[in-house]
Amino acid sequence: MRRTAPVITAFVTGVVVTISFFFNEQTTFIGQIQSGILIWVTIIFGMSLALGMVSITRVNFNKVKRRQEGWPYSLLVIISVFVMAIPSALPVSWSPLFGRNEGSIYYWLWTRISEPMMATMFAMLAFYIASAAYRAFRARSTESTLLLLTAVVVMLSRIPMGEWFLRLFHPSLPDWINIYIMNGFNLSVQRGIIIGAALGAASMSLRIILGIERTYMGKG
Amino acid sequence: MTFHLRKTLGVCLAAVILTASSASPLFAQEADEPAFLTNRINALVLIVVFCAAVLYFTYEARKGKRLFLRKIAGLDAVEEAVGRATEMGRPVLYIPGILDLDEMDTIAGVSILGRVTKIIAEYETPLIVPARYPTVLAACQEICEQSYVEAGKPDGFNKDSVRYLAGEQFAFTAAVNGIMMRERPATNIFLGGFFAESLLLAETGNAAGSIQIAGTSQPEQLPFFIAACDYTLMGEELYAASAYLSHEPLMTGGLKGQDLLKVAFIAVIVIGVVLSLLDHWDVIDFFDIYSAWFQEA
């Protein structure tokens, strides 16, 4: 039963949702099934948050208990999780510090700690791009030299000073780079990958719906 | 194998007939409004053709016909990468993307996780699987446990090796980067849906000296993975990975069906390009009118 039930569920859900796609959602019952299932998916995902809480608490609690290397950080994680979660779950009617509205503990921690830290992580991307570009754009072979030259030309065409420099050679040079490199070679390759990925995703969906692929259950 | 082609074909045909029976009062609630969306017939045609192609090749594979699959270096390197981690006595880090379980990229990622975990279980190498969503966490735990059981090492599975880190994209990235720098995994495998964090993860792994295998269907992230990882699966290779690793003829049949449709798409693109170069806009206009009919219907 443990093997068969998920396969039957995947098959029935897949076929019903596919059929539902072709029917009017406003006027037919079968057309409404798709959106109905999506609401259920959202509810299940919301309920599953408890699993995450249990996991993060257990992993970090064990680290603290065994005094493993870096255990103070784990203690900080546990405190942070509960300091964020508990006041946000309590009703606002008890105190303006509860809930998620402006002025609440959750809001204060979110805007003053979480958001700036996440923005910092994102900002670090610039440095990572520089280090990755340094490795990728080394002229070791014909192909990498071609890549280096293309990257230099594209980067020049994308910044005001570079655009001005390129226009010294020909007034339309930055536009040609955009048309031929970015909207020509680059876009056609991207579209090729997107078409292949879309067909791959459809093929995998079909394999799952028909029960051919069961690896998502750790079987086969 | 419980897969029965005739039964499946029968159910698929029944589904198609059911879909086409727009006049059925069972499906219509209001008589004035059209029940069946005719502007989606093109999608229906594509689904039928696609199903037929996949089922045909699956049938051929079931009969015993050998189907050729080209080599995918990134997948061939998985066993070698796990072996390296075993020799170094360091863990393997596997991230099934940062999307939820209702996305195909994540399903592809967790499907491959099962195969990789079996190899890891056989070598008795430590495994770390960080999850961004609790649903992915539950699925990964189940898959890993099952893989350890199938490898004959049920006691080797540590439930805490699959762990929830954070729901926010960059909080998750920071936590994974911390694991990479503290626990120094010998092998990092990133297979699934990745976005702005792809380079942050891959560059940190590179700095930590890990061997890295990545794969995503997001074309914007592929250059980052190619620059920072040792092997990269591009686009459809991610979805083909579970079939490739399984070596099962039935699953390979699905890949062949997909290839057939890809050939058809390429043919249509080439014909379109040639016709436009030869200035045969009358033929292209016909397709425009045909397409407009679907939009208006």
pLDDT by 10s per residue, chain A, length 220: 777 888 899 999 999 999 999 998 888 888 888 888 888 888 888 888 888 999 999 999 999 999 998 899 999 999 999 999 999 999 999 999 999 999 999 999 999 999 999 999 999 999 999 988 888 888 888 988 998 999 999 999 989 999 999 999 999 999 999 899 999 999 999 999 999 999 899 889 988 888 888 877 766 5
B258 with A200: Cβ contact below 8 A: yes
Q: What is the mean pLDDT of residues B97-121?
A: 93
Give percent above pLDDT 70 in chain B: 85
pTM, two decimals, is 0.87
- B167 close to A (CB below 8 A): yes
Determine the pLDDT at residue B12: 52
DSSP H helices, A110-159, are 115-123, 125-136, 142-158
Interchain CB contacts (distance < 8 Å): A and B: 236
Determine the pLDDT at residue B292: 66
A31, with CB counted inside 10 A (0-12, 13-18, 19+), is buried
A206: closest chain B residue by CA:
B51
Test mutation, A1, A11, A121, A182, chain B, max B CBs within 10 A: A121
Give CA–CA dist A197/A183, Å, rounded. Answer: 20
Residues of chain B neighbouring A42 (CB-CB closer than 8 A):
none
B199 with A58: Cβ contact below 8 A: no
Residues of chain A neighbouring B54 (CB-CB closer than 8 A):
203, 206-207
Angle, helices B281-296/B249-277, rounded to nearest 10 degrees: 120
Give CA–CA dist A82/A76, Å, rounded. Answer: 10
Q: Which helix (H) or strand (E) holds B56?
A: helix B41-62
Test mutation, B3, B27, B30, B145, chain A, max A CBs within 10 A: B27
Angle, helices A4-21/A29-47, rounded to nearest 10 degrees: 130
| Percent helix, strand and coil across chain B, each to the nearest 5 | 65, 10, 25
Test mutation, B9, B170, B194, chain A, max A CBs within 10 A: B170
Q: Which of B256, B230, B261, B224 is nearest to B60 (CA)?
A: B256
At CA A191, angle to CA A172 and CA A185, rounded to 5? 35
- B203 close to A (CB below 8 A): yes
Q: Which of A83, A35, A55 is nearest to B133 (CA)?
A: A55
Measured in angstroms, the CA of A53 and the nearest CA of chain B are apart by 8
Q: What is the mean pLDDT of residues B23-51?
A: 73
Q: Which of B43, B55, B246 sits opposite A215 (nearest CB)?
A: B246
Determine the pLDDT at residue B14: 53
